[in-house]
Amino acid sequence: MKAKIHVTLKNGVLDPQGKAVGHALRALGFDQFGEVRQGKYIEIDINDMTENAARHYAEAMCDKLLANTVIEDFDVEIEP
């Protein structure tokens, strides 16, 4: 199974990297967009588990290492 994990900053948390990307896009002539937020995408192969167990396993990895749950949210998708 594969865990596909998206980690993003929580609403209200300042995103300086997103701001920098937004400024760079505008400098390149792209201006038909609003706020830019940047995050992380992580794929992890998980062996020998049911889909439910793999989801809990991936969420535990996020809670302990992959996401700073004080300022970040995460979403886990399990793919067979």
- What structural domains does the chain harbor? 2-79 (3.30.1280.10)
Output the pLDDT for position 2. 98
Question: Tens of pLDDT along 36-77?
Answer: 999 999 999 999 999 999 999 999 999 999 999 999 999 999
Question: Tens of pLDDT along 5-43?
Answer: 999 999 999 999 999 999 999 999 999 999 999 999 999
Instruction: Label each residue of 9-69 as H, E or C.
Output: ECCCCCCHHHHHHHHHHHHCCCCCCCCCCCEEEEEEECCCCCHHHHHHHHHHHHHHHHCCC
**2 close to 78: Cβ distance less than 8 angstroms:** yes
Backbone angles phi, psi at 10, to 5 degrees: -65, 155
- What one-character DSSP code corresponds to residue 73? E
Output the pLDDT for position 19. 97
Model-level pTM? 0.89
